[in-house]
Amino acid sequence: MNISESSLPDQQNDASTAEIPLSVYDLTVAYHRKPVIWDVSFDIPPGKLIGIIGPNGAGKSTLLKAIMDLIPKASGRVQVFGKSYQKNRQRVGYVPQRESVDWDFPVDALDVVTMGLYKEIGWCLPVRKKHKDRAMEALNRVGIADYARRQISQLSGGQQQRTFLARALVQNADLYLMDEPFAAVDAATEKAIVQILQEMKESGKTALVIHHDLQTVPEYFDYVILLNMRVIDHGLTADVFTPENLQKTYGGRLTLLEEATETMRRREQSL
Ligand SMILES: Nc1ncnc2c1ncn2[C@@H]1O[C@H](COP(=O)(O)OP(=O)(O)OP(=O)(O)O)[C@@H](O)[C@H]1O
């Protein structure tokens, strides 16, 4: 699809963009009138795992928040499956950055996961056993069913992350936006999350994931968006995740780059 079609109104644009999970066109976002992302444009393909890669402060979280209308756009537009985010928000699941959650909120893990079902339950109707059973099933799938009744502040970082992943799973969305799901989790949790992302992809879901560990990018993601205020490049990981592009994205932070380049070199040798 030509991304410029994204500027058409929803009703004219449905047929051409219906299967494109997300189109971002010329998006600029500012805090206190100071732009932090500039003219960001990209489409993402359906049924893929897509990494958003860039240094601290590059605007990655801001991009996800602007996509979901959590912060205002200075300019530009976003389409989710060919319509505005508001029209298709029920098709989007969000896994927030762990630091942005108020862990003292008096709810347990099962309550948090059940919140993922509120579009079905409705905000006023009682939560029924069938809903709790589904939430338990999701907690079981992410391996923490034993912690269902524990207050969320008393969960470990990895268990908290798994809880939010379970909430996204019960929502049964088509597009997932995940803000650093691998941050500060142990190797077992990381493996469990990767497994779930793969299963999501196999069932046709698309996940857009903010990720910091350059060494695992080629293994985890089919497609990458390199961001540093602007989109440096985006496309298939094999084409875009190159030392030259990483240099452009990270500038002088060479230690990271050297590690990533070395990983890519080793991977190429083992093929
Ligand atoms: N609420 C806010 N008010 C003002 N400035 C903000 C706000 N949130 C973020 N910023 C600034 O916007 C820029 C982009 O921040 P953002 O959190 O989107 O980056 P990021 O790429 O997700 O960073 P990190 O990898 O460190 O999480 C940063 O310079 C940050 O300081």
Predicted confidence at residue 2, as pLDDT, reads: 39
Residue with token string 């083992």: 270
Q: Contact at 8 Å (CB) between 68 and 177?
A: yes
Closest residue to atom 13 of ligand 1, CA basis: 57
Domain ranges, ordered by start, for the chain: 3-270
Ligand 1 pocket test: pick from 33, 34, 36, 99 the residue with the most ligand atoms within 8 Å of its Cβ. Answer: 36
| Distance from residue 148's CA to the centre of ligand 1 (Å) | 33
Closest atom of ligand 1 to CA, residue 59? 18
DSSP, res 191 = H
In percent, the amount of the chain with pLDDT more than 90 equals 61
| Distance from residue 36's CA to the centre of ligand 1 (Å) | 8
Q: Contact at 8 Å (CB) between 93 and 146?
A: no
- The H or E element that residue 247 is part of is helix 243-250
The helix-helix angle for 157-171 and 187-202 (nearest 10°) equals 10
The pLDDT tens digits for 18-74 are 589 999 999 999 999 899 999 999 999 999 999 999 999 999 999 999 999 999 999
Average pLDDT, the chain: 86
The pLDDT tens digits for 2-21 are 344 444 344 444 444 558 99
- Any idea which fold 3-270 has? Rossmann fold (3.40.50)
Residue with token string 């993922």: 116
Closest atom of ligand 1 to CA, residue 55? 25
Tokens of 255: 């230690």
Q: Contact at 8 Å (CB) between 214 and 220?
A: no
Q: Distance between CA atoms of 63 and 78, rounded to whole angstroms?
A: 11
User: What is the CA 236 to chain-centroid distance, rounded?
Assistant: 17
Predicted confidence at residue 269, as pLDDT, reads: 66
Ligand 1 pocket, CB under 6 A = 31, 36, 54, 56-62
Closest atom of ligand 1 to CA, residue 180? 27
Q: Which residues contact 29 (CB under 8 A, 6 or more apart)?
A: 35, 36, 37, 59, 62, 63, 66, 71, 72, 73, 74
Ligand 1 pocket test: pick from 37, 61, 230 the residue with the most ligand atoms within 8 Å of its Cβ. Answer: 61
Predicted confidence at residue 207, as pLDDT, reads: 96
Per-state percent for the chain, helix, strand, coil, to nearest 5:
45, 25, 30
Predicted confidence at residue 173, as pLDDT, reads: 92
| Distance from residue 91's CA to the centre of ligand 1 (Å) | 26
Closest residue to atom 16 of ligand 1, CA basis: 59
Tokens of 257: 């780059």
- Find, among 79, 70, 91, the residue nearest to 1 by Cα: 79
Identify the residue with better confidence: 223 or 171. 223
- When mean pLDDT is compared over 114-128, 145-159, 254-268, the highest value belongs to 145-159
Predicted confidence at residue 214, as pLDDT, reads: 93
**pLDDT band at 163, cuts 50/70/90?**
very high
| Distance from residue 189's CA to the centre of ligand 1 (Å) | 26
The pLDDT tens digits for 62-99 are 999 999 999 999 999 999 999 999 999 989 999 888 77
